[in-house]
Amino acid sequence: MKLLFSPTSPYARKVRIVAAEKRIELEMVPVVLSAPDCPVNEHNPLGKIPVLLLDDGDSLFDSRVIVEYLDNRTPLARLIPQENSLRITVRRWEALADGICDAAVAALMESRRPEQMQDPASIAKQLGKVERGLKALSQELGNNKWCVGDAFSLADVAVGCVLGYLKLRYKNINWQQQYPNLAEYYAELMTRASFKESAPAES
Ligand SMILES: N[C@@H](CCC(=O)N[C@@H](CS)C(=O)NCC(=O)O)C(=O)O
């Protein structure tokens, strides 16, 4: 199986961490979305990464579908609980974490447009989602070691990926100081090989 990804994509990082935790070997294919010969559109009409190319030629997207597929490939290190209410709780955390990523990515894209074309209200709206989302993550995590119950799960993978993305792209949002519980939690996640090896290089 091949994964079309970019090293800074938080959604692709989620997939890379899940594969590593479950000891599933993926052939990594780095892509540049803006390159004219970028293969992503051929496999995902939405033109987004990550995309998982299966050995039979099919493709899977988006990250939520890919992580479920990988989690079901082997019972080793299950990251999505099979019991319904726990599974929904894990997926709600993932939706919150991914939603913060969506807002952070949208604000970044808007702020990269030529200044006279930028819409400050739209940037502010997206950043409001990021701020409220971080507050919710901090409150809901509290002093717990993991997001859901007493086991590492997909919820922790997703939350770790959004925190890593904000650390990389939004140095002005000092969530580590604002929410010490999230800072401690991220530091703990970063002791895992799967997180360390997938961390985007800080420039
Ligand atoms: N919901 C999607 C989001 C994927 C996504 O937005 N990926 C970004 C890279 S971080 C992308 O491909 N952006 C290109 C575009 O939106 O055209 C997922 O979970 O996989």
pLDDT for 201: 86
pLDDT for 153: 98
pLDDT for 145: 97
22 C-alpha vs ligand 1 centroid, how far in Å?
A: 23
Assign domain 84-198 to a CATH class: mainly alpha
32 C-alpha vs ligand 1 centroid, how far in Å?
A: 12
Which residues of the chain register pLDDT less than 50? Answer: none
As a whole number of angstroms, the distance between CA 95 and CA 92 comes to 5
- As a residue count, the chain comes to 203
Q: How far is CA 115 from CA 118, 119, 121, in A?
A: 5, 9, 13
CATH architecture for residues 2-73 = 3-Layer(aba) Sandwich (3.40)
pLDDT for 203: 66
Instruction: Kindly give the number of the ligand 1 atom that is closest to the alpha carbon of 40.
Output: 12
143 C-alpha vs ligand 1 centroid, how far in Å?
A: 31
* DSSP character at residue 13: H
pLDDT for 202: 79
**Count of CB atoms situated within 10 Å of the CB of 55:** 7
* Pairing of β 51-53 and β 59-60: antiparallel
Q: Give 52-83 pLDDT, tens digit per residue.
A: 999 999 999 999 999 999 999 999 999 999 99
Q: Which residues contact 144 (CB under 8 A, 6 or more apart)?
A: none
C-alpha Rg value of the chain to the nearest Å: 17
Instruction: Kindly give the number of the ligand 1 atom that is closest to the alpha carbon of 66.
Output: 20
Pocket of ligand 1 (CB under 6 A): 9, 11, 33, 47-50, 62-64, 98, 105
49 C-alpha vs ligand 1 centroid, how far in Å?
A: 5
**Count of CB atoms situated within 10 Å of the CB of 33:** 13
Domain locations in the chain?
Answer: 2-73, 84-198
pLDDT for 80: 98
Of 85, 79, 54, 45, nearest to 155 by C-alpha is 79
Cis omega (within 30 of 0) for bond into 62: yes
Query: Which of 5, 9, 11 to mutate for ligand 1's pocket (most ligand atoms within 8 Å of CB)?
Result: 11
